[in-house]
């Protein structure tokens, strides 16, 4: 089909970048064809060379920026082009926000079929750097045999050495220095993905922003860390160190964490406080290495505040919080509702959720381990067999990127809550799922984007569906 356009592989052409893709490339049109150009930003006029052609789109390599976008800024990180983690770092923060809001709106229109999107203004961050409370550094060996920790280059698995990511906290560097010095001193090897040999795979660091508690978890390709007490002695010197653990992962996969974790010093978890805007109550949460916890605590508080507002609770409601993690949203809901039920697939997270309810003296929240798409339908059917209709006034869902299973959406529709609050980190699957829900009796009442992942193309979306037209 290459002859359908006037351009061939390896040819160069000039185009203006108008958008950014889900896979983080700049997007522009040339002779009716859509081209994806890595490292090009919205607003750039570039010279590019065709690397791959399909029928209606193609890929091209950035050769030269002929006219930089007026919204380009000096990126705070020297590695940002190689690393690929912060696709938008060279774009002004204002434009980043504009881009994200537009992207969500477009997905809701295009995939969701919503003509009118009741979009509220995006919630940005005042200081959009050093916001991550969690870092997972891969450890490896460079060509000269030195142990390195850093980030994977682009979509490869080559490690770019960098112990101080600008999205993370400065303490990460101290932790990595201690781990690498310990490895060098004791001749402990780094894992090699190609051969499957070597011991240390990743260093996971988590920090409670409010409590300043730090957790370090080393992911091992093996069961034992020689001279671990020496490492613990070094890590303990870092202020705030609360938990040191080992996680065992001997599988040759890209999944970072294995199933088993052993605490070798301190507690098996850290605690963090979450305070909602408007001076609403602060809750304390305990977080285990395997549990999901929002990576941007500043924006997380804004997101949860919004979800709580959208839920519109008066105190009399029965609420389900599906994909509840450690019960973060559930426990805030519980303070304003009669009863909350949380469902989550990771058993450690549910253990955390139950502890968190106790820790905060909350007695009207109950948690279940399992898949949301199994637990809720099974509950619904059990009630039906007993001649009852499973009831919820409000259902909150906060699924991972792949969105909700159809079986779950059908059960939600059958339960017919007054409101559905859908929190999403992927607006394409959100749009797909909202279309299903709005084909029923629901209408999209409110939508707001929260920028929890500044400098990257990702964001969170909070939306509210109301029953009745």
Catalytic residue IDs: 425
Min dist. Cβ of residue 323 to ligand SAH (A): 3
* 226 is a contact residue toward ligand SAH (CB under 6 A): no
Q: Return the number of the residue (313 or 343) whose C-beta is nearest ligand SAH.
A: 343
Q: What is the distance between the alpha carbons of residues 400 and 407, in angstroms, rounded to a whole number?
A: 16
* 347 is a contact residue toward ligand SAH (CB under 6 A): no
HEC string of 363-400?
CCEEEEECCHHHHHHHHHHHHHHCCCCCCCCEEEECCC
* 371 is a contact residue toward ligand SAH (CB under 6 A): yes
Q: Return the number of the residue (125 or 175) whose C-beta is nearest ligand SAH.
A: 125
The answer to whether 412 and 376 have CB atoms below 8 angstroms apart is yes
Min dist. Cβ of residue 376 to ligand SAH (A): 9
Min dist. Cβ of residue 342 to ligand SAH (A): 9
Contacting residue, 176, 220, 270, 329, with ligand SAH by CB under 6 A: 329
Min dist. Cβ of residue 408 to ligand SAH (A): 8
* 380 is a contact residue toward ligand SAH (CB under 6 A): no
Q: What is the distance between the alpha carbons of residues 30 and 57, in angstroms, rounded to a whole number?
A: 9
* 430 is a contact residue toward ligand SAH (CB under 6 A): no
What residues have CB less than 8 Å from 63, skipping those under 6 apart?
12, 46, 47, 48, 49
Q: What is the distance between the alpha carbons of residues 442 and 463, in angstroms, rounded to a whole number?
A: 12
Q: Which stretch binds ligand SAH (CB under 6 A): 158-166, 173-181, 370-378, 429-437?
A: 370-378
| Phi, psi of 359, deg, nearest 5 | -55, -35
* 345 is a contact residue toward ligand SAH (CB under 6 A): yes
Min dist. Cβ of residue 278 to ligand SAH (A): 19
* 344 is a contact residue toward ligand SAH (CB under 6 A): yes
First-to-last C-alpha distance (Å) of the chain = 47
Give the count of beta carbons closer than 10 Å to the beta carbon of residue 361: 6
HEC string of 160-189?
EECCCCCCCCCHHHHHHHHHHHHHHHCCCC
Contacting residue, 349, 353, 365, 431, with ligand SAH by CB under 6 A: 349
Give the count of beta carbons closer than 10 Å to the beta carbon of residue 176: 23
Q: Which stretch binds ligand SAH (CB under 6 A): 44-52, 158-166, 213-221, 291-299?
A: 291-299
Q: What is the distance between the alpha carbons of residues 22 and 458, in angstroms, rounded to a whole number?
A: 9
Give the count of beta carbons closer than 10 Å to the beta carbon of residue 271: 18
Using only the alpha carbons of the chain, give its radius of gyration: 24
Q: Which stretch binds ligand SAH (CB under 6 A): 17-25, 118-126, 323-331, 358-366?
A: 323-331
The contact pattern for ligand SAH, residues 389-428, with x = CB under 6 A and - = no contact, is: ---------xxx----------------------------
Min dist. Cβ of residue 156 to ligand SAH (A): 27
* 346 is a contact residue toward ligand SAH (CB under 6 A): yes
Residues found near ligand SAH in the complex (CB under 6 A): 292-294, 323-325, 328-329, 343-346, 349, 371-373, 398-400
């Amino acid at each position: 089909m290459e002859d359908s356009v006037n351009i061939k592989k390896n040819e160069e052409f000039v185009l203006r970048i108008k958008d950014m893709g889900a896979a983080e490339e700049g997007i522009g049109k040339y002779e009716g064809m859509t081209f994806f150009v890595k490292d090009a930003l919205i607003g750039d006029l570039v010279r590019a060379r065709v690397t791959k052609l399909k029928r209606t789109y193609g890929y091209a390599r950035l050769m030269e920026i002929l006219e930089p976008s007026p919204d380009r800024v000096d990126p705070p990180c020297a590695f940002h082009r190689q690393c690929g983690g912060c696709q938008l770092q060279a774009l002004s923060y204002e434009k980043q926000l504009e881009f994200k809001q537009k992207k969500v709106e477009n997905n809701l229109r295009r995939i969701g079929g919503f003509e009118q999107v009741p979009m509220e203004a995006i919630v940005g961050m005042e200081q959009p750097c050093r916001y991550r409370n969690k870092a997972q550094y891969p450890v490896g060996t460079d060509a000269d045999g030195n142990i390195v920790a850093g980030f994977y280059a682009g979509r490869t698995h080559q490690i770019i050495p960098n112990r101080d990511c600008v999205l993370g906290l400065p303490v990460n560097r101290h932790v990595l220095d201690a781990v690498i010095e310990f490895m060098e001193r004791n001749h402990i090897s780094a894992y090699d993905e190609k051969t499957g040999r070597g011991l240390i795979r990743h260093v996971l660091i988590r920090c409670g922003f409010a409590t300043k508690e730090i957790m370090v978890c080393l992911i091992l390709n093996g069961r034992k860390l020689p001279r671990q007490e020496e490492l613990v002695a070094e890590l303990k010197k870092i202020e705030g160190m609360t938990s040191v653990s080992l996680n065992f992962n001997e599988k040759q996969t890209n999944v970072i964490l294995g199933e088993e974790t052993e605490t070798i010093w301190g507690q098996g978890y850290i605690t963090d406080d979450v305070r909602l805007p408007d001076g609403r109550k602060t809750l304390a949460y305990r977080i285990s290495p395997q549990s999901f916890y929002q990576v941007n605590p500043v924006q997380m508080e804004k997101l949860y505040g919004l979800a709580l507002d959208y839920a519109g609770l008066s105190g009399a409601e029965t609420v389900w919080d599906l994909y509840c993690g450690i019960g973060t949203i559930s426990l805030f809901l519980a303070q304003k509702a009669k009863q909350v039920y949380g469902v989550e697939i990771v058993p450690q997270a549910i253990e955390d959720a139950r502890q968190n309810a106790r820790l905060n003296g909350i007695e009207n929240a109950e948690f279940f381990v399992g898949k949301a798409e199994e637990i809720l339908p099974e509950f619904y059917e059990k009630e039906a067999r007993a001649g009852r209709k499973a009831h919820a006034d409000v259902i909150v869902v906060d699924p991972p990127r792949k969105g909700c299973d159809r079986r779950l959406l059908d059960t939600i529709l059958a339960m017919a809550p007054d409101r559905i609050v859908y929190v999403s980190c992927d607006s394409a699957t959100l749009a797909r799922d909202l279309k299903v829900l709005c084909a029923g009796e629901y209408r999209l009442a409110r939508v707001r984007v929260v920028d929890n992942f500044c400098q990257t193309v990702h964001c969170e979306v909070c939306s509210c569906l109301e029953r009745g037209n």
